Structure 1
């Protein structure tokens, strides 16, 4: 996967995240629930913490600090994406970067990350999430899969010179 494809995947991921969040903000009211399928609804919420609301108490009212910390980690992952020797690993890192950028944009624009996807079973709800979170999770799965011994033997290693 070339550097151009990495940048394109990052851009597409960030754009998809921001477009879906804009639609959620335009069409949903805070804490309104719109059933879509059994076990899945749309519910607008905002997260000041990290993934799944962790650190919300610590980071409440500190969106610039959270954006800076996330931005630093995102920069590291972007460098890793360009330097990674395996295409599947590069794609995974690009998904993580694109998703992280989408959430950073929210923090800088509105002080919190827009979440709107709600999975549940009866009275149990998974923490509300967004397209950026899906991209980050899929990216992490790709990175883990790329590190499996059988996968490493089959996937070509890119020449870094």
Structure 2
């Protein structure tokens, strides 16, 4: 199914980009792309977003298995019939697996995208994180519009 291929492409791009960072940059090294806004900064994270739950690898392994099971269930149930949802779930699968592979083989997640929003330094992230966030936002958008469509259908 094409939506699983999206997840595989995300996984490959994520792991390739992380491999390039690990091989070419020291941890803490930074390359300015857009002055004051966008940098490539080699970073490692043993936790989740904003370094929450650092060092809790078994927790992340368990969460990954549960998330993948739920996402695959919904891919089979809804994703096959709703292309928008299928793409979103494919992005979630790819992002989930990208960070899982890091934790499994490195014991930490490689992060490298560093954005500044004015004076705020947004936590460094990676392609897997981006894929997860985009996929989740698409699911929220679908859910909001689908519930509005159901309300219109029920009242009409």
User: Is the shorter-chain TM-score for this pair beyond 0.5, marking a shared fold?
Assistant: yes
**5+ long unaligned stretches in structure 1:** 154-161
53, 73, 79: which is aligned to 1:79? 73
Q: Is residue 96 of structure 2 the alignment partner of residue 100 of structure 1? A: yes
1:1-161 matches, within 5 Å, as 4-38=1-35, 39-56=37-54, 60=55, 62-84=56-78, 85-121=81-117, 123-149=119-145, 153=149
Q: Are the equivalent residues in 2 in contact too, given 1:82–1:90 (CA < 8 A)?
A: no
Q: CA deviation at 1:89?
A: 1.2
Q: CA deviation at 1:33?
A: 1.2
Work out the CA distance in 1 between the residues paired with 2:101 and 2:115. Answer: 24
* TM value normalised by structure 1: 0.82
User: RMSD in angstroms over aligned alpha carbons?
Assistant: 1.9
Q: CA deviation at 1:123?
A: 4.3
Work out the CA distance in 1 between the residues paired with 2:133 and 2:139. Answer: 10
**5+ long unaligned stretches in structure 2:** 150-156
- Which residue of 2 is the match for residue 157 of structure 1? none
* TM value normalised by structure 2: 0.85
